[in-house]
Structure 1
Amino acid sequence: MGNVICKPLGLIDHRNLKSDEEVLLTIDYEIFSDETTLLIKKCSHLVISTDFYSKMKNKRRYSQSEYPLTALPWIIDRIENGFFKNPDAGGFSDFERNTTAEFEGETIGINAMAHCYTENLPGLNIWNGNRKSYISNITPHEWNIPNDMLKDGLLDKLKIIADKYS
């Protein structure tokens, strides 16, 4: 991870989008039925924005992670041809659990997870090492996705978005 921390794009208000904020997709996480997660294009970034109820703050809050839109084709390729392919078909070996690349000066990585949100639910953690969390004020920005969500249509929807903006 580079030492440069990028300037935050600013939290997106789902109920009051600005002219440079375009909702691309709504993602439904079954285990978080009280949350709304939107994929939003803001300038040249893909933003994963979540509206959730914070029990600690006792109110609704927003959280988001930000990635250069130019990283999306690479993310899709690494998921499809690395993590989801068997090693004999050119995919990652059982020992390759992560991959990284740099886009527009931002280090983007993907880690395999055995327990994504719940025990024994495999998934992927997509992170941006050059952006601080809006909540904890530490790096990285993170987006966790269970593998079954990707295989059940989310990956195809991400491909459509990548094709539109590449």
Structure 2
Amino acid sequence: MELLNPFNLSKKYEQVFISQNIGFENEEFFLLKDSNQIIFLVIAPPNFGHPDIPNYYVYQLEIPLKAISWLIDSIENKFWNSAKEGGLPSGQYKLKEVVVNETLALYREMNVGAKNQKGFRLANFSRPSRKFDDNFQEFFITDALLIDGGLLDKLKLIQI
């Protein structure tokens, strides 16, 4: 797979959610899917260097479609609940597990896109970056996009 252009997608991809990337200036968020995976994608105007697609940088992460349930459960029950309520132990800000044969990690972040803006960093250690020379993919999502932007509700509608 390569970096996708959300303005020129193959018919195998469905755009299931589009929003301003809340918490990041001048960025647009796309949630795409095909029969096997969900793709988190952001486009941003280039500040320097060469754009990935005409007029935009592209940031992309892919996870198996069946991993959406894990992602939702991890956010809502492990990170947003206290240890007393069944969440992660106090002081633990990382969850790394093998989900549908892929090593995924979710990190609680306190400065996503701006100082004191809470959110998550999602990483897939089983797929290489489509943009950088890294052997993993990572993607940042703010709580504001999840809650106010409706991303979490959309993920719940498409989980398997």
Q: TM-score range by the shorter chain?
A: 0.7 to 0.9
Amino acid at match of 1:139: N
1:28 equivalent to 2:9? Answer: no
Q: Aligned residue for 1:155?
A: 152
Q: Aligned residue for 1:95?
A: 91
Q: Where do 5+ consecutive residues of structure 2 fail to align?
A: none
- The percentage of counterpart residues that share the same residue type is 26
Question: How many angstroms does 1:39 deviate by?
Answer: 0.5
The 5-angstrom pairing of residues 60-71 of structure 1 reads 60-71=56-67
Q: Cα RMSD over matched residues?
A: 1.7
Amino acid at match of 1:161: I
Question: How many angstroms does 1:77 deviate by?
Answer: 0.3
The 5-angstrom pairing of residues 124-143 of structure 1 reads 124-143=120-139
- Say which SS state the counterpart of residue 45 (structure 2) adopts: strand
Figure out how many residues of one structure are paired with residues of the other and give that number: 155
Give, in whole Å, the separation in 2 of the partners of 1:134 and 1:38: 16
Q: Is the CA contact (8 Å cut-off) linking 2:22 and 2:145 kept in structure 1?
A: no
Q: Would you tell me which structure has more helix in proportion to its own residues?
A: 1
Give, in whole Å, the separation in 1 of the partners of 2:133 and 2:42: 17
In structure 2, do the counterparts of structure 1 residues 47 and 144 end up closer, same or farther at CA, with 3 Å as the change threshold? same
TM-score (ref. length: structure 1): 0.84
Residue from 65, 69, 74 that aligns with 1:73: 69
Q: Where do 5+ consecutive residues of structure 1 fail to align?
A: 1-8
Give, in whole Å, the separation in 2 of the partners of 1:159 and 1:111: 20
Residue from 93, 111, 116 that aligns with 2:112: 116
Per-residue deviation, residues 111-166 of structure 1 (Å, max 9, x unmatched)? 1112111111121111101222222220321121122332333212211121xxx1
- Say which SS state the counterpart of residue 117 (structure 2) adopts: coil
1:46 equivalent to 2:38? Answer: yes
Give, in whole Å, the separation in 2 of the partners of 1:139 and 1:119: 28
TM-score (ref. length: structure 2): 0.87
Give, in whole Å, the separation in 1 of the partners of 2:135 and 2:35: 21
Question: How many angstroms does 1:34 deviate by?
Answer: 2.5
Give, in whole Å, the separation in 1 of the partners of 2:42 and 2:145: 17
Amino acid at match of 2:153: D
- Say which SS state the counterpart of residue 93 (structure 1) adopts: coil
